[in-house]
Amino acid sequence: MDALLSISRLIDRLNEWVGRAIAWLVLVAVLISAGNAVSRKAFSLTSNAFLEIQWYLFAAVFLLAAGYTLLRQEHVKIDVVLGRFSRRTQVKVEIAGMLLFVLPLVVVVVDLVWPLVVNAYDSGETSPNAGGLIRWPVFALVPAGFVLLGLQAVSEAIKRIAFLLGRGPDPGAKAQHKSAEEELADEIRRKTQGGQAREARS
């Protein structure tokens, strides 16, 4: 169990790092969108590449954050039956759901999408729009996001088994109470303060 919990912690750290890193893509998408609007209105300059990179960034945030969202227990849950049972029964159902539904879904999606990624890479497929971008990077986001989700499902199953064995806390409790916007603001503030501190030392 100790070895499995170590693996779980590694997966949690990976998805925590990915989640914090891709939060910055939201800011990048906003800046690109604003810059594109200004250049189009003020200078009549625009490109489909600006629009497509915003779609790519949105896809990256949505897909790559799936594992991070599961780590933070923020996926939407609609429960009309399970809440009537004990917490241990709920945890057993959650373990079954991850092993019998989430992981097989991950395997099927990766198996179906990976040939599309390889084909797009080999052919150099690009968007049919004028000035459009190459397609394989955004295709690759799908298997990457699902792999991260699958890894986190493994981690969550391990933590729930540990809970049932009395080896860990309830993993169903949300890891944070701040909104995504508040977390992004905190991260920007932390980076800014770190930069100011480095400037002060120099």
* pLDDT tens per residue, range 93-118: 889 999 999 999 999 999 999 999 99
Amino acid present at 116 = L
Ordered alpha helix ranges (H), 44-98: 48-64, 66-71, 87-97
Better pLDDT: 80 or 163: 163
Q: Which of 15, 26, 53, 30 is CA-nearest to residue 180? A: 26
Query: Cα angle at 150 between 147 and 152, to 5 degrees?
Result: 110
Instruction: Give the pLDDT band (50/70/90) at residue 124.
Output: confident
pLDDT, one tens digit per residue, over 157-198 is 999 999 998 888 888 766 555 666 666 677 788 877 776 767
